[in-house]
Structures are given as C-alpha cells and as structure tokens.
A and B are shown apart, each in its own frame.
Chain A
Amino acid sequence: MRRLLGPRMLPLAATGLVVVLLYLAAGAKFHDSNWFTYRVLRDLVVNNGVLGVLAIGMTFVILSGGIDLSIGSTVAFVGILSATLLGQGWSPPAVITLSLVCGVALGALMGWLVASFDLPPFMVTLGGMFLMRGVTLLINDSQIAITHPTYLASGKWPIHPAAGAWLIALVVALYLLHYTRFGRNIYAVGGSEQSALLMGLPVWRTKVAVYACCSLFAAFAGVAQSFVSLSGDSTQGVAQEMDAIAAVVIGGTLLTGGRGYVAGTVLGVLILGLIQSAIIFANINSWWTRIGIGLLLLIFVLLQRAIQQRVDRQ
C-alpha cells in the first residue's frame, strides 16, 4: 500500500484520476445516459486493444532510452502475411507462430544494429519502418479478406480478441518489467547506460532484447488486428507508432528513458480512446480528435513535468 501511495506513484495516480474525470465530464456534458453504458466502456477497450498492445511494446523501448518507429508497418506486414498464408491453406497456429518469429527477428536485427554500432534508434527503426512497409506492399498491395473458420469464429469468443490481446500483453509486460532481471536492466540502461555498463549489467544483450520484445508485441498486435478486421491490409497501421508514442508519453514515461510504468501506458491509451469516443459520440468532425490529442499531449507533458518537479524536490 505504501508503495502505491509513494511519491513515485503519484504521477500515475494523477493520470488515473484524469481518465475517470474525463469520462465523467464527457458524460455530464452529453446529458445522455447512453454514455454510461457497458457498451461504451466495452467499445473503449475493444477499439483500442491493438493500440494498447503496441503502446505496451513501445514502453519497453522508451524505458530503455530508445524509440521504435517500425511497429505500425509490422502490424500491416503481419496482416498481409496472415491473410496470404491462410489463403494458401496454412493453419492458424503455424501462421501466428511465423508472424511472431518474424517480429522477433526484425526486432533483434534492429536491436543488434543499435547496440553493436551505436546507431541512433530513430534512424534504425525508421529504416525498419520503410523496410516492413515495402515488403508488405511487395507481397500484396491491397486488401485480402480472411475467411478461415477459426478467425470467423472469434466473434463468439467469451472475450473479444483485441481485449484479450491487450490483457495478455499487459500481464506479460508487468511480469517482465517488474519481476525479471531483464526488466530491471531496461530501467537501468534507460536511467544511465554508462553506469549500467560499469555496474556490470549486460547492456548489449538488454538493448537487443528490448527491440526484439517491442517488435514481438507489434507482431502480436498484428495478429490481434487480423482477428478483428478479418483481413490483411497493406495500408494498415500507418502512423500508428505515433499514437503509441503519444500514449506512452501521456502515461508518464519519460522519453529520455529510465522512468515510467506500463500501467501508465494503459491509462494513456484509455485517455486517447476516451477523446476519440467522446468526439464521435458528440458527432463532431473527426479532425477534432487529432486536434484534441495534440493539445492534450502538450498539456499532459507540462502537467507531468510540474508534478515530477514537486516530487523530486521533496
């Protein structure tokens, strides 16, 4: 309990409060009891599940002091790959396994480049982004429907695939970040790479693994996306990495690394989702979503800076 109320958790608690207030405020504004239904909450989770998984993966890289721009392309790649292979008669488990393996391989490659040659993660993953989008378009430059019975039956699952994926990703990430050496090393590398090295931590290995992890989450998000949309689409996930970064930052993780929580990222995604739902609900032009998110991002970063400074001074 003390850990939950401690100064380090304060920004997180504040973000959680904002989610609740945002929800209540939107409800009060609409004077509409439909806003407070299970359906709206359910849609909030379901519509943002894929982004939720991506943002969790992004949290790993950002915590380590890096960034990954390739995740949106990875989602599209996995979608097209799945649809194509399923169309050729592959079984779903084989397709999913291959997708995840491709994700890990791409991430490990990017991580290796970043860690071994001290290249800026921004450039390396930008390369990864173009590469994956290119390969996707090479396989198929349009949309392919998925008609495999397992995929079609997912509508009847007790839990929506997107929500399920988000939950699994969250549990795995909480475990990795808070209960394994790997996770703690990520915080250390992000906090101070030089010190981590001198403390005898496996910096190189950690960096490679972080990118592999993030791409794995992205591939997993891609699998979830193909269950949700029942198709592969080569234009899927364009600029989605930016939404993920926004969610992570709104969730209180420092872009410089070493400080932040996955739980914050979940709240960040919920805040983005709430704005979107509210704007759709109020029937306003959807461009307002972008404007709203943009403004909110700025306000949030400022707010967090203020809270963090207070905490630091105590």
Chain B
Amino acid sequence: MAQPPQPSPESTPLLSMTGIVKQFPGVRALDGVDFQVRRGEIHSLMGQNGAGKSTLLKVLTGVYTRDAGQMLLDGRVISPRSPLEAQGEGISTVYQEVNLIPDLSVAENIVLGRQTQRFGFIDWRAARRQADAALARLDLQLDVSASLNSYSIAIQQMVAIARALDEECSLLVLDEPTSSLDQQEVARLFGVLRRLRDDGLGIVFVTHFLDQVYQISDTITVLRNGRLVGEWPAAEFSRIELIARMLGRDPASLTEAEAGAAPPSPVAAAEAARLVAHQLGRRGQLQPVDVEVGAGEVLGLGGLLGSGRTELARLLFGLDRADSGRVELAGRAVRRGQPRSAIAAGMGYSSEDRKVEGIIPELSVRENLILALASKRGLWRRLGRAAQEALADRYIQALGIATPDAEKRISELSGGNQQKVLLARWLAAEPSLLILDEPTRGIDVGAKAEIMALVADLKARGMSVVFISSELEEVVRSSDRIMVLCDRAALGELRGESKTEQAMLARIASAHQEVSGG
C-alpha cells in the first residue's frame, strides 16, 4: 500500500489547516485534522457520509468556530467568524445544499451582496449583465429576471456555482456541487475549474462520484470518522485503494466482502400492486404519457435533466395536479393533485429535493423516519413509542445511518445521512409502489451499493418501484424496463437486450437531432 508522501516543503501551501478539532454535542466531528491545499491544484476531499468533510469546510469558512487548531491562508493566520469574513479573505464557497434565496430572481441571487452601485443606486441593468456573464462562463443561458424557484434543482445548483465563480478569490471551495448535475453540465463545470486551476487558484472539491474525482483532481485527501487518513496524488492512488481507505478496510478483502454482503431485509412483504397511468400529463410540464408498472417490477425513468423525469414522478404522486389522464394503483383510482390519496392507495415518493420537500429539520431522526408511516396509519392508530424506536433502530442499522442515536435532530446529520433517513421513511411505510427520485444523490459508495441492493430486495418482495437517477448506469442496472424521456415527452421504452446505456443515449441523441433538424 502506498504511504502518504510528505508534502513538499519548498513552497508554502495556499491553505494549511492543522490540528482542527470540532466537537458537537455527542459527536467529535473533527478530531485533529490536517488539510493542505496548494496553488494551482484541485484537491478532492473524500470520505463516507458523516466523515466530517462539510464540517471541515464550514470551519474553514467561518460557519462553525473550531475548538482547536490553526488555519493559515497564504502564510497568514486566519480566523473567519462568518462566511462574510471568509469571503473577505478570498475564500469563495458553494455549500452542500443549494443555499440561495428561492423567492428572489436568478440575477439577484448571483449579485447579492456585491451589486454595482451608481450614485447610491443599485444598477439593475448592470446586475443582469453581470449575472448573464457569470452564467455564460458555465455555458448557461437563463431568463435571469425570473425567480430562482421557477427553475429545477440542477439549474439552482448551477446558479450557486456561478455565484461562487463570480467572486474574486484565491481559494474556491465546492461541497458536492455536482450532486444534481448531468454529465454535460459537469463537463462544463470541470472545464471552468481546470482553467481556474491553471490561473493558480486552489480548489477544494467534494463529491461521492468517484469518476469525477479521478477526472478532475490532482490530489486526494481522505477523512474517516472525523480523522485524517492521509493525502495522496490522484495519479498514484487507485480507485480500490481509495474506497478501502474511506471505508477503513483492507483493499484485498474489499471485493469479496462487497459481493458477499447480503443486504439486511427490514421490510415485510408488500402485497402485489399494479400501477396504471393513462394519458397522464400537464400543460407545460409533461406531454400525456402512459405508464404501467407491474408488481415486483422496477421501472427506470431515463433521460437528461429537464427531460420530464421528475415532472412525471410529481404527477404520479399528485404533487402537481395533472390536467389530463388518470392514475390507478392496484385498481384504486388516485385522485388528481392529492398526495394523500396517493399515499392512501399505497404510493410513496422520496423526493429529489430533500431540503424543501423532504426533511423536517426540527424533528429527530426517529420522528422524521416514522412520518410517512404515521400519516398512512392515520391519527387514531398511533404507533407506540417503543415500536417507533425499534423501527428507527432497525433502519439506522440497515442503511448504516451515521448518528449517535435516533433522537438526534435530523438537521445535525450530514447531508448524505439525511438522504438515507428520507429513504428509510418510505421504506418503513411499506408502500406497494415507491417512487425514488435520485435516491443515491450525495450518498457514499458503500451506502449506494446498499441502496441498490435494497431496491432489488423490495422488488423481490413484490413491491413496484419507479426509479429515477441522473446516473444512467444506475438506471440500467436496477431497472427491468426503462422509459426514456426527452423534452418533457416519452420517447419509448427499452427492455431486455436493448436496455443499455448506449441505447438510451442514442435514443435521446436522435430525438434531439430531430428537434434541431426539423
């Protein structure tokens, strides 16, 4: 195994954090972590969910105050007490969840805090121009005066990145910026990052997509359980070794262990179900489509961002009101635009946007976990406390949720672990049809495999699943059939032999050509 090489002493690093300690009630999130970033380097910070990556970056940018340790930027001691001060030091940051103001326009979200002023007045025209320019760096053209929440999560994430890039900085920090982007958008972002690196910026990058790590990074630092594991040049650090270091296991034992690990099966058999949607659509959102999912079948929805995948999921579940068509689950009609009716009929929906639609930050892990089940059972058939605790513990175990206990506030969990709780919420409700919208977003490799295994397990018990993911490979692997969507319409289905990533891409590409050709 490669030993972490000593950092070269000849040049002072751009950023040097030493002995950083951060204690939260009940958890030592960082325990004496050292972290260095040099100029002209893209540095990936890796680790499982809850390893302490976001916490380290938040200590760096003054969101959290550290309990011990020292930080040097450009050889100067820094101690920012707020993101504002960190910006003043030349650190520009994209935080893990999209942190913008949904009600304000795209332009404002980009220029907020640094608007051009003329004679004491904000120059709105300049603001729009500045926003257009910032987005153009990412090859993005938007109506910048539309409010941010009229755009998808992916676009919002791009806007957050554009905002960070628009700032004068010497260190750029990106905490899972690509979690909801598609391949093209990631490619554009990476183009920009490489250029910035060549200009001498230091860039910190966090992601759970290993492909991306190897595409972009020069150096990799691994954290585990709040401790530093080591730092390696990306070129000399194999993928299997990276995973082993993150999980704290021996690379040799890894492959067999992964193959042998049977997923725990916490879910009782759900009764057979069959979803039929006929000519379901909504003007401006999705052209009418027919959908059928049999009992024990996984239907994948494939397509690029904005193709209508999430829109279809929302219409099925009734989050948006369809203006045509009908939905039936196991023979029961689901009333349009009424998620309650969908839940009562046995549907579950794990949303892509966990921050807005998913978690309830003030409640504990246990309370968040039993929400769907409780609403399915109704007000009068409450679950006893002991039963709730047992249930919570079972899923914390099964999904490997990193939390000291079930009573911790969910907002204090790391991003990936919150996603796992959301998933557990729907699993606990034992729906007969579960819609999973980007269930693996922001989840580490180990847990990703667990989730995929869980999907397979659910299927084996007769539950129907609608599976949505930006990672085409994942869709191909876990689905029986794939419905390909493009430009908010269904292009057709892939099954059996033809169910491959290439076939899916070819379909989408030809559809695009037709559009631009005609």
* Nearest residue, chain A, Cβ from B100: A195
Residues of A within 8 A of B147 (CB): 8
* Nearest residue, chain B, Cβ from A202: B84
* Nearest residue, chain B, Cβ from A196: B101
What number of B residues sit within 8 Å (CB to CB) of A? 28
With an 8 A cutoff between CB atoms, is A14 at the interface? no
Q: Are B103 and A258 in contact (CB under 8 A)?
A: yes
- With A188-B104, A194-B99, A199-B113 as given contacts, are A181 and B163 in contact (CB-CB < 8 Å)? no
Chain A CB within 10 A, most for which of B83, B115, B120: B83
Chain B CB within 10 A, most for which of A200, A201, A313: A200
Mark A residues whose CB is within 8 Å of B: 3, 6, 8, 175, 178-181, 184-185, 187-188, 191-192, 194-202, 258-259, 312-314
- With A181-B122, A187-B104, A258-B101 as given contacts, are A201 and B84 in contact (CB-CB < 8 Å)? yes
Residues of B within 8 A of A180 (CB): 117, 120-122
- What sequence of 0s and 1s flags, for each residue 91-103 of chain B, a beta carbon within 8 Å of any chain A beta carbon? 0010100011111
The answer, among A175, A199, A313, for a CB contact under 8 Å with B99, is A199
Q: Are B63 and A313 in contact (CB under 8 A)?
A: no
- With both chains docked as a complex, state the minimum distance between the C-beta of B116 and any C-beta of chain A, in angstroms: 10
- With both chains docked as a complex, state the minimum distance between the C-beta of A186 and any C-beta of chain B, in angstroms: 11
Residues of A within 8 A of B112 (CB): 184-185, 188, 199, 201
- With both chains docked as a complex, state the minimum distance between the C-beta of A200 and any C-beta of chain B, in angstroms: 4
Q: Are A191 and B82 in contact (CB under 8 A)?
A: no
The answer, among B102, B113, B115, for a CB contact under 8 Å with A191, is B102
Q: A313 CA to B314 CA in the complex, in Å?
A: 13
B88-132 CB contacts (< 8 Å) to partner A: 93, 95, 99-104, 108, 112-113, 115, 117, 120-122
Residues of B within 8 A of A195 (CB): 99-101
Residues of B within 8 A of A192 (CB): 99-102
Q: Are B163 and A197 in contact (CB under 8 A)?
A: no
Q: A184 CA to B284 CA in the complex, in Å?
A: 31
With an 8 A cutoff between CB atoms, is B470 at the interface? no
- With both chains docked as a complex, state the minimum distance between the C-beta of B508 and any C-beta of chain A, in angstroms: 27
Q: A6 CA to B147 CA in the complex, in Å?
A: 11
Q: Are B120 and A198 in contact (CB under 8 A)?
A: no
- With both chains docked as a complex, state the minimum distance between the C-beta of B251 and any C-beta of chain A, in angstroms: 37
Q: A188 CA to B148 CA in the complex, in Å?
A: 12
The answer, among A181, A187, A313, for a CB contact under 8 Å with B113, is A181
With an 8 A cutoff between CB atoms, is B170 at the interface? no
Q: Are B320 and A185 in contact (CB under 8 A)?
A: no
- For the complex of A and B, the 7 pairs showing the least CB-CB separation, nearest first, are A191-B101, A195-B99, A198-B99, A200-B83, A200-B87, A179-B121, A200-B84
- With A184-B122, A185-B112, A185-B113 as given contacts, are A197 and B83 in contact (CB-CB < 8 Å)? yes
With an 8 A cutoff between CB atoms, is B86 at the interface? yes
* Nearest residue, chain B, Cβ from A201: B113
With an 8 A cutoff between CB atoms, is B145 at the interface? yes
Residues of B within 8 A of A191 (CB): 101-104
Q: Are B117 and A199 in contact (CB under 8 A)?
A: no
- With A184-B112, A196-B101 as given contacts, are A3 and B145 in contact (CB-CB < 8 Å)? yes
Residues of B within 8 A of A258 (CB): 101, 103
- With both chains docked as a complex, state the minimum distance between the C-beta of A194 and any C-beta of chain B, in angstroms: 7
- With both chains docked as a complex, state the minimum distance between the C-beta of A111 and any C-beta of chain B, in angstroms: 17
Residues of B within 8 A of A196 (CB): 101
* Nearest residue, chain A, Cβ from B83: A200
